[in-house]
Amino acid sequence: MTVSVREFKARLSLYLQKASNGEDVVIASRGRPVARLLALAPAANVKPDASELARRLRRIPGMLPSKGGKPRGSSRPMVIGPGEKTLAEIVLEDRR
């Protein structure tokens, strides 16, 4: 279920009750999802299995699960020519 921030603030108790009953509540600001309210697991010691975690990840709007592993970097790295400043140098200049 998706609700606006305004609606969520106006009926907080209702949405807390729905979340405690197991229903996911997605909070949207200006039509874009920004947060999700979920019920706590019944036992804090019990960890969900991998399939449950994958299911939860798929339900997050805009979330794409990764394949894992270490990032390898760009296949086309930028080349900084002689006399050109790096992004780090530009940021440092702006901070002064």
Three-state secondary-structure class, residue 21: coil
15 close to 25: Cβ distance less than 8 angstroms:
yes
Q: For the domain that residue 15 is a member of, what is the CATH number?
A: 3.40.1620.10
Q: Specify the number of domains making up the chain.
A: 1
Residue 15 φ then ψ, to 5°: -75, -30
Q: Please tell me the predicted confidence (pLDDT) of residue 87.
A: 85
Residue 14 lies in a domain: yes
pLDDT tens sequence across 6-60: 999 999 999 999 988 888 899 999 999 999 998 877 666 677 788 888 788 778 7
pLDDT of residue 56: 80
Answer whether 21's CB lies under 8 Å from 15's CB: no
> What residue numbers bound the domain in which 28 lies?
2-42+51-59
How many helices (H) and strands (E) are present in the chain, helices listed first? 4, 3
Residue 83 belongs to a domain: no
